[in-house]
Amino acid sequence: MSKFSSIQELIAGCLQKDRIAQKELHRRFYGRLLAVTMRYANDMDDAKAILNAAFLKIFQELASYDSKREFLPWAQKITLHTSLDHVRKRMRYEKHLRNFTTFPIHQTRGWNEALNSLAEEDIYKYIQQLPVAMRTVFSLFEIEGFSHKEIADLLGISVGTSRSHLSEAKKKLRKMLSFFLELQKNAV
C-alpha cells in the first residue's frame, strides 16, 4: 500500500506537488480515464495523448476540486472535455482538408445478433472506425447520454447536424456489423 491510503491524502499530496502522489493518482485512475478518451480517439496513441493532456488539466485544477464530491466523476468530466476539445480541433483541421461526405443509406439485418456475438472491446474498435464527427456524436449520445441539444452546444453544430451524424453512424455500424456476421457465418 502507498503512503497515500485515501484519495483525500493522495489529493493533498498532489496539491503539495509530491511526485509520488501524482504518480499514484495517475496509476489509480489511468484505466478508467483511458476508457473515456478511447471513445473519441482514432487509436490508442491518440487516446493516450488526450489522456496525458487531461491529467495535466486535472493536476492544474486540483485546487478547485470539492472534496465533498467523488473524485472520479470530476476527473471524468475534465477528461471528457479534454477529449471533446481534441475532437473539435481535429474536426476543424479535417474540414479544411476536405468536406464531410455522407454515406448512402443501407438497411441491414442482424444488428442484435452482431452485438450479442461481439465483445465490448470489439464494438469500440468498430466505433473507432467511424469518421470523427459521427464517432463523437454517437459516443456522446449513446454512451455518455447527452441530448442532441447538449451535443450541438458542445461541438458548435446544429441539432439537426447532431441527429444526422448519429443516424449515419448507426447506419455505418449496422453495415460493419452485418459484414462481421457474414464473415462469422462463412467461418463456421
Q: Could you report the per-residue pLDDT of 48-69, keeping only the tens digit for each?
A: 999 999 999 999 999 999 989 9
Most distant CA pair in the chain, distance? 60
pLDDT confidence band for 184 (50 / 70 / 90): low
pLDDT of residue 75: 96
Average pLDDT over every residue of 117-134: 76
Measured in degrees and rounded to the nearest 5, phi and psi for residue 111 equal -55, -55
Provide the 8-state DSSP code for 6: S
Distance CA 95, CA 137 (A): 16
What are the boundaries of each domain within the chain?
A: 1-85, 100-188
Q: What pLDDT, on the 0 to 100 scale, is given for residue 156?
A: 87
Angle at 44 between CA 42 and CA 45, to 5 degrees: 90
| Least confident window among 115-119, 128-132, 149-153, 164-168 | 115-119
What pLDDT, on the 0 to 100 scale, is given for residue 154? Answer: 87
Instruction: Identify the residue with better confidence: 184 or 167.
Output: 167
Q: Tell which CATH classification among 1.10.10.10, 1.10.390.10, 3.10.150.10, 2.40.33.10 matches the domain 100-188.
A: 1.10.10.10
Tell me the H-state helices in the chain: 7-15, 19-38, 44-61, 71-97, 111-117, 120-128, 132-138, 148-155, 159-187
What are the cell numbers at 35?
476508457
Q: Which residue has the higher pLDDT, 151 or 115?
A: 151
Question: So what's the pLDDT on residue 21?
Answer: 94
We find that the CATH architecture of domain 1-85 is Orthogonal Bundle (1.10)
CA distance 40 to 50: 9
Q: How far apart are CA 113 and CA 109, in angstroms?
A: 9
Q: Is the pTM of this model over 0.85?
A: no
